[in-house]
């Protein structure tokens, strides 16, 4: 039986490896921007988004609208590719931390599982990271992931000239989310379910999934009011303190901005799952339900973020983070645990 199990594991591994090799995109079509879609070796599925013009922001009568959503006409001058889904754990962790050794799920005080944040893990990851969406990703690490992807794909000869893998700009994200629509949502059923306080995952006209209700997604831009007037390929870099998040997540009654954290009416829950809605978070902190989807798009020079040292988590060790002190208590030997919980 043991011998048979070993053979099965080897066969599955070989099949998986063959599938990965088969997934490599046609470099010629990709470099020439002729490919309508392609799959990277780590199964990241990329969809071509055409150049075009759209109205960014929301009308004043849109339910849940924020004052920072002033409408303006935006031109996306060049086509780009966007990941069809948010990056998953089994795509992110091998790239960012190949030596990752997850701690098996053990219960910490309060019934919470120990986050694997100290080694690029998700907020609640399984013993073997799988196809779950990768969350608790810091902005700085999402950028690093894209840089690694650019390096690898450049070496493979699969980068169009002047293009790179990176986070989308706010304008690119909203343009891709809308996919030609002009209302609050890119799908009528999603709008209906959101108003009733329920999640609805779907695909838009460009073929992108879960732009409204997956996880909150990082973009390149610093948070700031939109500049007045129409623009082509805009991106906002002001002080680097807060980065914009777009989209929403399945439990969407918590706004990432503290002053808007609670809602009393179903329609108020539309605040940040709409196409135009905006949130912002610090770039070096691992927030639950925050992930990203990369684009292959024209190269942009991105300034270093302005990170408050108090909120710079970096890559954690098991014992160096104030965020994890409560969680760690449940994993210490009893004598240490008792000492840690003593009143000062």
Which of 286, 233, 1 has its CA nearest to residue 119?
286
Give the mean pLDDT of 170-176. Answer: 98
- Residue 131 pLDDT level (bands cut at 50, 70, 90): confident
pLDDT at 16: 39
Nearest to 212 by CA among 288, 269, 287, 294: 269
- Which of 17-21, 295-299, 312-316 ranks highest by mean pLDDT? 295-299
pLDDT band with cut points at 50, 70 and 90 for residue 321: very low
What is the secondary structure of 235-282 as a DSSP string?
A: ---SSSS-EEEES-BSSTT--SSGGG---SSGGGGGGGTSSS--EEE-
Per-residue pLDDT at 115? 53
Q: Residue 342: pLDDT above 50?
A: no
What pLDDT score was predicted for residue 155? 97
- Average pLDDT of the chain is 79
Rounded percentage of the chain residues whose pLDDT exceeds 70: 70
Residue 325: is its pLDDT beyond 70?
no
Q: Which residue has the higher pLDDT, 123 or 21?
A: 123
Opening angle at CA 89, ends 251 and 248, nearest 5: 25
Helix axis angle, 89-96 to 139-155, nearest 10° = 80
What's the confidence (pLDDT) of residue 273? 84
- Pairing mode, if any, of strands 290-291 and 216-222? parallel
Percent of the chain residues topping a pLDDT of 90: 52
Q: Is the pLDDT of residue 104 over 90?
A: no
Provide the whole-model pTM: 0.82
**25-63 pLDDT, tens per residue?**
999 999 999 999 999 999 999 999 999 999 999 999 998
How confident is the model over 251-309, as pLDDT tens digits? 544 444 444 444 456 566 677 789 999 989 999 988 888 999 999 999 999 999 999 88
Tokens of 159: 């980068």
Which residue ranges make up each domain of the chain? 27-87+133-313
Q: Which tokens sit at 255?
A: 């706004």
CA-based nearest residue to 128, from 108, 97, 103, 106: 103
Report the 10 Å Cβ neighbour count for 132.
13
Q: Give ∠ CA 221-188-73 in degrees, rounded to 5.
A: 40
**Best-predicted range by mean pLDDT among 109-113, 121-125, 270-274, 281-285?**
281-285
- For 6-20, 57-71, 242-256, which range has the lowest pLDDT when averaged over its residues? 6-20
- Spatial neighbors of 197 by CB under 8 A, at least 6 apart, are 253, 266, 269
Looking at domain 27-87+133-313, its CATH class is alpha beta
């Amino acid at each position: 039986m043991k011998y048979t199990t070993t053979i099965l594991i080897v066969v599955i591994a070989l099949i998986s490896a063959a599938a990965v090799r088969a997934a490599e995109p046609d470099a010629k079509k990709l470099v020439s921007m002729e490919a309508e879609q392609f799959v990277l070796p780590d199964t990241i599925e990329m969809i071509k988004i055409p150049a075009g013009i759209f109205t960014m922001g929301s009308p004043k009568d849109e339910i849940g609208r924020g004052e920072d959503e002033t409408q303006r006409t935006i031109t996306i001058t060049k086509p780009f590719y966007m990941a069809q889904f948010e990056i998953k754990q089994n795509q992110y962790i091998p790239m960012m931390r190949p030596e990752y050794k997850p701690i098996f799920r053990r219960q910490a005080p309060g019934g919470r599982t120990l986050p694997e944040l100290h080694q690029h893990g998700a907020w609640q990851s399984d013993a073997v990271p799988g196809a779950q969406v990768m969350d608790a990703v810091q902005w700085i690490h999402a950028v690093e992931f894209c840089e690694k992807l650019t390096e690898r794909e450049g070496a493979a000869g699969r980068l169009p000239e002047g293009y790179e893998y990176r986070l989308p700009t706010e304008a690119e994200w909203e343009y891709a989310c809308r996919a030609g629509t002009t209302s609050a949502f890119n799908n009528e059923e999603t709008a209906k379910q959101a108003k009733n306080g329920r999640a609805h995952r779907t695909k838009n006209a460009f073929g992108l999934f879960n732009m409204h209700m997956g996880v909150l997604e990082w973009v390149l831009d610093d948070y700031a009011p939109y500049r007045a007037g129409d623009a082509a390929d805009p991106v906002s870099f002001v002080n680097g303190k807060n980065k914009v998040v777009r989209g929403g997540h399945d439990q969407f009654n918590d706004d990432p901005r503290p002053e808007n954290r609670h809602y009393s009416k179903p329609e108020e829950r539309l605040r940040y799952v709409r196409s135009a809605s905006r949130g912002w978070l610090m770039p070096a902190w691992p927030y639950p339900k925050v992930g990203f989807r990369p684009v292959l798009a024209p190269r942009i020079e991105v300034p270093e973020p302005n990170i408050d040292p108090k909120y710079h988590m970096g890559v954690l060790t098991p014992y160096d983070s104030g965020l994890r002190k409560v969680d760690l208590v449940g994993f210490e030997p009893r004598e240490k645990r008792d000492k840690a919980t003593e009143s000062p």
